[in-house]
Structure 1
C-alpha cells in the first residue's frame, strides 16, 4: 500500500463528502439524461472489440462502426419481435392452463394451510370463549323494521366501450417511451463510436500534460479489458439463454424461446436475476403440467446449467472474477437499482466495474476501488501480519499450505513471512505493539515455520519445567527444536566433504530467525543445511571438520553491528578457507550497512532466499 493511501479517512474530508453528496443528487435527479448516456457508453465498450476486429479485416472506421451498430440493432429488433409474438401466444394460451393452475393452487394451499388450520383448531378448543359483541340498535317503525343507519343506494359506473383508435393510441403512448429512449441510445452510440479517438484526446487534454501516462493507462484498461469482459459476458449470457431454450423445448415446454430469452436477459442482473428466471420457469411448467415431475426436472436442469456456466465456463473465459467482490456486486445492484430503477439494475455491474477500473488511476475514485474491488489494496505480507495480530493461526497455515502447493518455502519467506515480520519489527520499534501482541506474533511465526517445514528424525523427550526459548528468541527456539530431533550438530558429522551448508549469525533475534528460516528453506530441497551462532562461546566440532562445509551464509549486518560482523566474517574466512562466504541483503527497509563495505568481506551478496537456493542447488549438482 502506498504511503499516500495509508488511511481511507484521510481521503474522506468534508469537501469530499459534499462532492459525493452532489454527485448522488445529480445521479438521481439527472437520470433522464444520464441513463441513455450510460447505456450508450456501455454498449460502445461492448461493440469496441467487434469494431477492432472489422478494422483488422480491412474495414475503415466509419464502415466498421456502421456495420457493428447495424448488426447489433438487427439482432435486438429481431429478438424483440420474436419475443413479442411469443408473449402474445403465452397470453392467448393462458385460459387453457387455468384448470391446471387452479388445481395446483388448491393443492399448495391445502398443503400449506392444513398444519395451521389444525393448530388453530387445537388452540380454539382450549381457549375461553369471548362474549358476543352487542347487537346494533334497532328502530321499530309502523309496518317496517329498519336499523338506525340509512342504507346507501348501489350505483354502477360503466366505462364507454373502447374503439380501435383508442386502443392503438393507448398502445402507442405506452410504447413511445421505450422506443424514444432506444432511438436516443442508438444515436448516442453511433456518435460515441465515431468520435472515439476524438473523445480520448479530449479526455487526455482535460487531464493535463502531467497526467498523460496515467490517463492513457486508464483509458486503455477501459477500452481493452473492460470492453472484452462486457463482450464475453454478453456472449455467455446469450449462449446460456439459447441452451436454456433448447433444453426446455426438448422437455416439451411450450414457448421455450421466450423463457430462454428471459433467462439470458435476467442473467445480466447479478445473483437475483438468475433466481427470478428459475422461479418463473418452474411456476410456468408447474402450471401447464398436471404433476410435479416436469417442473422439478426443468428446475434441476436449469440449476445444473447455471452451475456449469458460473463455475466452469466463466472462469475460463474471463478469469475467476469480474473484478468486483461478491458483496460489491450486491451493493452495486441495490445502489443503481435505487437510483435508476430497472435500467440501473441491468447496468449495475458494468457501471461499478468501470468505476473500480477508474479508481486504479484516479485518486478521487480510489476509495471505490478499495471498497468494491475483488482484491483489496493489501498485499500478502500485510494480510499475513494482520492475521498474526488477530491470532488467526489456522487461516495463515491454510493459506500457506495452498501457497506451497505452487511455490517453495523460500519464496514464501521472501514474499510473505519475512516482509510480515519486518512490519511487526517496525511497529514494535515504534511502540505500537503491546506485550500480548508481541507474544502472539512470536508464537504464530514459530508455529507456521514448524508446521510448514517439519524436521525429520526421532523426537527427543521433553523435559518437564523447561522454559521455552520462544519467549525470548523465535529463531533460537526453532533451532532448539531441530537439535532435539537431529542431535547436537543438527545431523551426522560422517558426511562427504563440501556437503554441508552453514547458516551463521551474530546471535541476535533477527539473525537467528533469518538463519533458521534459510536452513529450513534449504532442507526442503534436500540440502544438508545447519545453523550456528558466531561468538566466543560457540560450539566447534573441530578443525578437521572444516572441509565438510561448502558454503557459509552470513546474515547481512545492520549499521549497529557492522564492526562485530566484520570480525566474524574474517574469522569465518580464516577458519573455512575453502568455503564460499555469502550474505543475503533482504530488502526490508532496515538501517543496514553499506553494501560496498560488506562486499569487501564476502564472496557474494544475494538478494533473496530464492537466489540462495538457485546458488546452492546447481553448485551441489555440479559437485555431485
Structure 2
C-alpha cells in the first residue's frame, strides 16, 4: 500500500505545503479571484483570438476586438435581463392576492397535521396546572396579581435620505462589482496580449528538462477548458431557449427572462439548475390562481433537465470535463467555501486544470486519481480487482459491453490475460492464498465459460460425482477444467474428425497450468471467430487421434516457453515437426510474458513468433487460411 501515489507523496513537508496553499487560497481570494477569472476567460476567448489572427489581424487588434465583442454581448444581455427584471418587480403587486392565497393554502396544509397532533396529545396529557389551581382555591389562599410597570413606547425614525444620499448609496453598492469587473477586464486584456510570453515564462520556470511535459500540460489544460466551456455554453443556451419558448407557449409572462435565468444558472454545477427551477415554480404559482400551471411547469422543467443531463450532455461532450460527477460536486463545495459565488462558477474549470496537471506532474497525481472521470487503472487491473472480490456480475457486464465492439481475442489480450498475469504474480509472491485463490479460479472459470459460445451446461450426471470432479480439477488446473467442460459437450476430440484437410488449428502446450489456460483461452477465442480450433497437451500420446489425421491440421500454436522448461519445450516442438510436417508452427509471446528466453533461440524451432491472440486470429481466419498456406 505504501507504493501508491497517495502515500508516495504524503509527508510532513507535503502536508505543510498543502496547508499553506489552502491558506493562500482563502486569505488571498481578493487578489486570486480576479486573476483566476481573467485566466479562465482568456482560455475561453483564445480560439476567437486565433480565428481573428488567421484572418490577418495582429495580436493587439485581435485581442481588443475579441474582448470588445464579448464585453458588448455580456453587457447587452445583462441590460435586457435587467429591464425584464424591473418589469417583473413592477408586475408583482398584481399577483399579491394570488400569492397570499397560495401561502395561506400551503400554511394550512402544513400546519393542520401538526395542530391535530398537538390537540390529541393535549387531550391525553394530565392537566397539571388546572389541578394545582383547583387545590389552591379549595384551601382558600388568596392570590394577588401584580401588574408590572408598563414601559413607555419609544419610536425610532430614520432620517429621510435626500436624492444625493440615495445616489451616493447606490454608487457605493455598485462600485464593488463594477470595480472587480473592470479589474478582470484589464487582466483579461493583458493576459491575452501576453499569452505567448506567459507560456514561455512558465516553460522557463519549469526548466529545460521538463519542456515537453510542460507543453503537454498547458496544451491539455487550454484545450480541455475551452472545449468544456464551449460545450457547456451550447447545451445551456439550448436549454434556456427551450425553457423560454415552452413557458411562452404556456402563457407565462416574461418567459425570456426565465429562460435566460435557467440557462445561466446551469453554469453552477447541480445547485444552479435546482435554484432556477424553484424560482420559476414560485413565480408561476404566484401568477396562476390554481395549481395546474405551476405543477405542469415543474414537471416540464424536471423532464427537460433529466433528458439534457442524461441524454444530451453525454452525447455532446460526455466526460469532456475530465471530472467524475462526485468530483464536480466536491469541487463546487470546496471552491464555493473558498471564494463564494465566484468559486462556484469557476469550480469546474479550476479543478479541471488541477486534474490535467496531475496527469503530467507527479506531485498532483493523487488529485487526478481521486477526481478524474475514470480511475487510472487498466482493464487488466480492474478485472483482477473484481476477480479478487468474486464480483462476477460486474466483470461480465463490462465484458459484454467490451465484446459489442471487439472480439474475444482482443478482450483476452487487453483485459483477461493482463488480469491473469497480475493474479499469477501475487500468487507466486504469496500474497494470495486459500479462499482468495479459490475465488479467483472460480470467477475466471465462470467468466470464460459465459463469454464463449462453447460454454454451456454439461450433460446431466449424478450430482455428487460431478461436483467432486469439477471442484478438484478446478483447484488443480484451471485450463484443464475449462477444456474438460468443452470435451464433455463436444467429445474426446473436441469435434468431428470428418472435416476438410488443413482446416483444424491446434493449440498445444506443456502439461502445466500456465500452458493449459493459455491454450484453452486461445481455442475459445478462435472458435468465437468460427475457426475449428482444438487443444492438446504435449507429450500425451493418448491425446492425438493418430498419424492418419495429421493432414487435418493447418497451424499449431504454442505458448512461449519459460526458462525452467526450455529443454522440454524444444523437444516437444521438434516432435511436432515430425508428426505434423505440413503444419505451420507458431508461438505466441505475449507482452505480459516475463520469460527471458532469447527469441532467436525459439525462432530456429518455429515458423513465426506472434505477439497476441489477435495476431493469431488474424493469421488463421478462414478467408486467409488458403493464402497463409500458400
Q: Which residue of 1 aligns with 2:322?
A: 323
The Cα shift of 1:111 comes to 1.9
- Offset at 1:4? 11
Corresponding residue for residue 97 of structure 2: 99
Rounded Cα–Cα distance in structure 1 between residues aligned with 2:78 and 2:420: 61
What is the deviation of 1:274? 0.6
Matches within 5 A, 1:293-372: 293-372=292-371
* Residues 485 and 498 (structure 1), Cα distance of their counterparts in 2 relative to 1, 3 Å cut: same
The match for 2:191 is: 192
1:562 to 566, 575, 580: 566
Matched, 1:245 2:250: no
Which residue of structure 1 aligns with residue 390 of structure 2? Answer: 391
Shift of 1:132: 4.7
Shift of 1:589: 4.3
Q: Which residue of structure 2 aligns with residue 432 of structure 1?
A: 431
Query: Is 2:453–2:528's contact at 8 Å kept on the other side of the alignment?
Result: no
Q: Partner of 2:422 in structure 1? A: 423
- The correspondence of residues 486-501 of structure 1 with structure 2, limited to 5 A, is 486-501=490-505
Question: In the alignment, is the contact (CA less than 8 A) between 2:332 and 2:344 conserved in 1?
Answer: yes
Q: 1:221–1:321: structure 2 CA closer, same or farther, 3 Å change rule?
A: closer
Question: Does the Cα contact within 8 Å between 1:557 and 1:592 map onto a contact in 2?
Answer: no
Matches within 5 A, 1:66-465: 66-132=64-130, 147=146, 149-455=148-454, 459-463=458-462, 464-465=464-465
Classify 1:245/1:76 alpha carbon distance in 2 versus 1 (closer, same or farther; 3 Å). Answer: same
Q: Give the C-alpha shift of residue 180 in structure 1.
A: 0.3
Which 5+ residue runs of structure 2 have no aligned equivalent? 134-143
Query: 2-side partners of 1:272 and 1:357: how far apart?
Result: 25
Structure 1 residue matching 2:129: 3-state secondary structure: coil
Distance 2:432 2:151 in 1: 82
For 1:52, the equivalent position in structure 2 comes to 50
Query: Which of 585, 591, 600 pairs up with 2:604?
Result: 600
Distance 1:78 1:242 in 2: 17
Structure 2 length as normaliser, TM-score?
Answer: 0.94
CA–CA distance in structure 2, aligned partners of residues 133 and 123 of structure 1? 18
> Does the 8 A contact of 2:562 with 2:596 survive in 1?
yes
**RMSD of equivalent CA atoms:** 2.0
Kindly indicate whether the alpha-carbon contact (under 8 Å) linking 2:511 and 2:538 is maintained by their aligned counterparts in 1. Answer: yes
| 2:476 is aligned with 1:472 | yes
* TM-score for the superposition, normalised by structure 1: 0.95
* Residues 457 and 259 (structure 1), Cα distance of their counterparts in 2 relative to 1, 3 Å cut: closer
- Pair 207,4 (structure 1): closer, same or farther in 2 beyond 3 Å: farther
CA distance in 2, matches of 1:31, 1:128: 60
Cα distance in 2 for partners of 1:128, 1:370 equals 63
8 Å contact 2:570–2:605 — kept in the other structure?
Answer: yes
Query: Cα deviation per residue 1:322-363 (whole Å; 9 max; x = unaligned)?
Result: 210011011001100100111111111111111111111122
Partner of 2:625: 620
SS at match of 2:590: coil
> CA separation in 1, counterparts of 2:237 and 2:455?
57
C-alpha spacing 1:611/1:196, structure 2 compared with 1 (3 Å): same
What runs of 5+ residues in structure 1 fail to find an aligned partner?
A: 136-144
Indicate which of 518, 538, 562 corresponds to 2:522: 518
Residue 254 of structure 1: SS of its match in structure 2? coil
Please give the per-residue CA displacement for 1:191-214, whole angstroms capped at 9, x wherever unaligned. Answer: 000000000000000000000000
SS of residue paired to 1:191 = helix
